[in-house]
Amino acid sequence: MLIRARWVVPVEPAGVVLERHGVLVRNGVIQGIVPWNEAPAGEDEVALEDHVLLPGLVNAHTHAASVLRRGLGDDLAAAPDARAVREGTLLACAEMLRGGITCYADAFDFPEASLEAAAAAGMRCSQGLLVKETPSGYAADAADYLRKGLEARDRMRDAPRTSFGFVPHDVSDATLRQVATLAAELDLPVRAALKPGELQRLLRAQVLGPGATLAYASEVAAPEVAVLARHGCSLAYCPSAELRQGKGRPPLEALVGAGVNLALGTGGAATNHRLDLLHEMRLAGLAPHDALRAATLGGAQALGIERITGSLGPGKAADLVAIDMSGPELAPRHDAVTQLVNSADRQHVTHVWVGGQALLSERRPQNALFPPLETPRNLWQNSQLRAGS
Amino acid sequence: MLIRARWVVPVEPAGVVLERHGVLVRNGVIQGIVPWNEAPAGEDEVALEDHVLLPGLVNAHTHAASVLRRGLGDDLAAAPDARAVREGTLLACAEMLRGGITCYADAFDFPEASLEAAAAAGMRCSQGLLVKETPSGYAADAADYLRKGLEARDRMRDAPRTSFGFVPHDVSDATLRQVATLAAELDLPVRAALKPGELQRLLRAQVLGPGATLAYASEVAAPEVAVLARHGCSLAYCPSAELRQGKGRPPLEALVGAGVNLALGTGGAATNHRLDLLHEMRLAGLAPHDALRAATLGGAQALGIERITGSLGPGKAADLVAIDMSGPELAPRHDAVTQLVNSADRQHVTHVWVGGQALLSERRPQNALFPPLETPRNLWQNSQLRAGS
């Protein structure tokens, strides 16, 4: 298959925009990127004359099923069961795919239910295994969370497009240390909130390292930037969620300058109301190519899957998104990447592929296993969470 | 004509959501709002089963033609001529209509060129007559700006869907006073920036009053709120533009509580990159019905045309926008107005009417006089401003 586009932005090498190139895909994997006039004959072709072709966007921090509480405010009072998590995650996947997101880092109770939804949708997912110390409808305590999480991973670790990580949430030093040890043993990433004053605790628990991603780090102090950089950490910045909490912008330029890997996330829809990474990319206020890297390769690196996705190059999965630049909202085309990052909406997303599988084409869903793109209103009107709200 | 919708939000009375109602339109004017089962027979019908029907959005502060410099940064270096202003305004109208905006307050050199574009697009426009003291390609000094502005108004004051206002920009006390005097004589509104420390100057020049709208008022102080309220002023808040300038949020709740009329604007696309009032409505962070009022009736009141547009009631112009609520981005429907304000994108805008004339229907342009909705890329690729950048 050859996907020809007016512009191809591979993200790696940084800052490159290839005009009138095509991405050659075989068995779901990118074979190469070639100029239109050097493309091999006889391929199935998709022609995107007015489009930018990018790596699929990576949402580096969300709580997918919380879309069921969209518009109800911050309070996640209702206790979801596995069915609600599956339904909510399907809805979140429908929204994310229509917005060009091909991969997301989730964190929710009932991780197997989440992954069933991601598999039905065809999305790539890094499933966060939550670890809490307070009882829920899913687990009794930290030990129970860990046991159930690891069992879920054992059962689903060979599923395609699936990876895992730990997400400790409001836990003691002892539990944090236990999570760090398990993560090191199993080579799994850890996502944790970096609240003010927490960095020393994360250091002591040996959480920090190339597999660690910090979220909610708006208030990171200058000396902490150096610590994060020295340990090779990633930062998952969620602009909307942090703005809504009245927080400022982290020192992104200083973090990137020091070598911290920057990723972008939407947070959950209960607070943010939208799982829209194009919106987060704009709000981050970075230089256009830096914003695009954070929304793609930066996210993949944070999830530990940068060898699989996040940029367009030979050997990488064909996770792609096409954005139609012909609308009046994106004119004039002084610079394609600038207009894309500053001005593109989800309405301009026309095609999405994951592992070479077309999931959205000319804005229409292509995956027969995944009905909510067509008829969400029938599926979600009577959800259990709604009754519990 | 009867436009049936799942929900009708008239904005006035405040907070009302009418389920399964229809808006009856005759000769471009709203006759009434009736339940589906009480609608008169024999009308042409538009059935919007999954939609919210609202008053058209009012963009209370923009510089329409500056879309030509979208993505080029804040510096408006190139001097536009009348043709560039007409082209830029057409492009801006295409973007605004597709985003549910039916009326906008403009401010640009060459006001007749702007109004020609608004007329071709079919939009309602309050044309701001700029008054500057520095020479431009349009006028030599304040006297020249005033003379040309008033001549433009004389020639175009009877044009349909058209009104006027003064927009003094960085002028001396004497010019400000002259503008205020002329505005009072001609019963025209005045839009001015409220920079820190400027309120006394605006008071002395007798600018403040029910016809005055202040923009860029993020830094308004508590005693100033009372002054604005006492004089019956409006405030045009442009969240994106002010965030980009690193400014905070004005004390909106205190302003509204004191009785200041709140409107919303996009500012110009040179800085904001988008003329998207749904986006500004979300960013304002108001309670949903307050945000919707600011984006409709609040804007109309700021422009002095609240008897014509801004809410849905008998005798008002049929300026309407329909938003399809069936997408996954807007599910579940806990509350239609909350989901609309927090989560709706321009992609959900399906129908737009101005004065009963359908300009957008099922997302397709209906106005044959207005090609850029179909083929903006042909019109805008070679604009003069681009060459000048």
Q: Examine the pLDDT at B77 and tell me if it is beyond 60.
A: no
| Chain A residues with beta carbon closer than 8 angstroms to that of B326 | 376-377
Residue of A76, A335, A343 to mutate, interface with B, max B Cβ within 10 Å? A343
- A residues 52..81 contacting B (CB < 8 A): 67-68, 70-72
Place of tokens 């993020």: B218
The whole-number pLDDT of residue B162 equals: 98
The whole-number pLDDT of residue A248 equals: 79
Q: Examine the pLDDT at B229 and tell me if it is beyond 60.
A: yes
Q: Examine the pLDDT at A68 and tell me if it is beyond 50.
A: yes
Q: Examine the pLDDT at A64 and tell me if it is beyond 70.
A: yes
The whole-number pLDDT of residue B173 equals: 96
Encode pLDDT of B174-223 as tens digits. Answer: 999 999 999 999 999 999 999 888 999 999 999 999 999 999 888 898 89
> How far does the CA of residue B270 sit from the closest CA of chain A (Å)?
11
Helix (H) or strand (E) holding B140: none
- A residues 262..301 contacting B (CB < 8 A): 273-274, 276, 282, 285
Q: Examine the pLDDT at B87 and tell me if it is beyond 80.
A: yes
Q: Percent of chain A beyond pLDDT 70?
A: 93
Give the mean model confidence (pLDDT) for residues A241-247: 81
> How far does the CA of residue A306 sit from the closest CA of chain B (Å)?
28
Q: Examine the pLDDT at B292 and tell me if it is beyond 50.
A: yes
Highest mean pLDDT pick, A82-91, B311-320, B322-331? B311-320
The whole-number pLDDT of residue B310 equals: 98
The whole-number pLDDT of residue A15 equals: 96
- A residues 230..259 contacting B (CB < 8 A): 244
In eight-state DSSP terms, residue A343 is H
Q: Examine the pLDDT at B303 and tell me if it is beyond 60.
A: yes
Give CA separation, B226 vs A158, B190, B198, B259, in Å. 65, 19, 15, 9
Amino acid at A154: D
Encode pLDDT of B128-150 as tens digits. Answer: 999 999 999 999 999 999 999 99
Give CA separation, A368 vs A1, A120, A121, in Å. 21, 9, 9
Residue of B273, B325, B383 to mutate, interface with A, max A Cβ within 10 Å? B273
Q: Examine the pLDDT at B69 and tell me if it is beyond 90.
A: no
Instruction: Tell which wins on pLDDT, A358 or A369.
Output: A358
Give the mean model confidence (pLDDT) for residues B111-138: 96
Residue of A329, A340, A345 to mutate, interface with B, max B Cβ within 10 Å? A329
Ranking A12-16, A224-228, A331-335, B299-303 by mean pLDDT, the lowest is A331-335
As a whole number, the mean pLDDT across chain A is: 91
The whole-number pLDDT of residue B17 equals: 97
Instruction: Tell which wins on pLDDT, B326 or A57.
Output: A57
The whole-number pLDDT of residue B388 equals: 33
Q: Examine the pLDDT at A81 and tell me if it is beyond 60.
A: yes
The whole-number pLDDT of residue A325 equals: 93
Q: Examine the pLDDT at A75 and tell me if it is beyond 70.
A: no
Amino acid at A377: R
The whole-number pLDDT of residue B217 equals: 86
Is B332 within 8 Å of A282 when comparing Cβ atoms? no
pLDDT band at A25 (very low <50, low <70, confident <90, very high): very high
Q: Examine the pLDDT at B31 and tell me if it is beyond 80.
A: yes
- A residues 166..185 contacting B (CB < 8 A): none
The whole-number pLDDT of residue A329 equals: 92
**Six-digit token pair at A31?**
């074979």
Q: Percent of chain B beyond pLDDT 70?
A: 93
Q: Helix %, strand %, coil % for chain A, to 5?
A: 35, 25, 40
- A residues 320..349 contacting B (CB < 8 A): 326-329, 331-335, 338-339, 342-343, 345-347
Q: Examine the pLDDT at B369 and tell me if it is beyond 70.
A: no
As a whole number, the mean pLDDT across chain B is: 91
Contacts of B306 (CB under 8 A, 6+ apart): B297, B300
Q: Examine the pLDDT at B326 and tell me if it is beyond 80.
A: yes
Is A91 within 8 Å of B328 when comparing Cβ atoms? yes
Q: Percent of chain B beyond pLDDT 90?
A: 76
Chain A residue nearest residue B68, CA to CA: A332
Q: Examine the pLDDT at A370 and tell me if it is beyond 70.
A: no
Cis peptide before A111 (omega within 30 of 0): no
The whole-number pLDDT of residue B252 equals: 94
Encode pLDDT of A292-316 as tens digits. Answer: 999 999 999 999 999 999 999 999 9
Determine the Cα–Cα distance for residues B304 and B306; give it in Å rounded to an integer: 6
Asked if A6 has any chain B CB less than 8 Å from its own CB, the reply is no
Residue whose C-alpha is closest to residue B220's, from B245, B190, B193: B193
Give the mean model confidence (pLDDT) for residues A13-19: 97
Q: Percent of chain A beyond pLDDT 90?
A: 76
> How far does the CA of residue A279 sit from the closest CA of chain B (Å)?
10
Give CA separation, B1 vs B5, B12, B73, B354, B362, in Å. 13, 21, 45, 14, 17
Give the mean model confidence (pLDDT) for residues B266-272: 86
Contacts of B169 (CB under 8 A, 6+ apart): B107, B130, B131, B132, B193
Q: Report if pTM > 0.80.
A: yes
ipTM for this model: 0.91
The whole-number pLDDT of residue A387 equals: 33
The whole-number pLDDT of residue B216 equals: 85
The whole-number pLDDT of residue B376 equals: 39
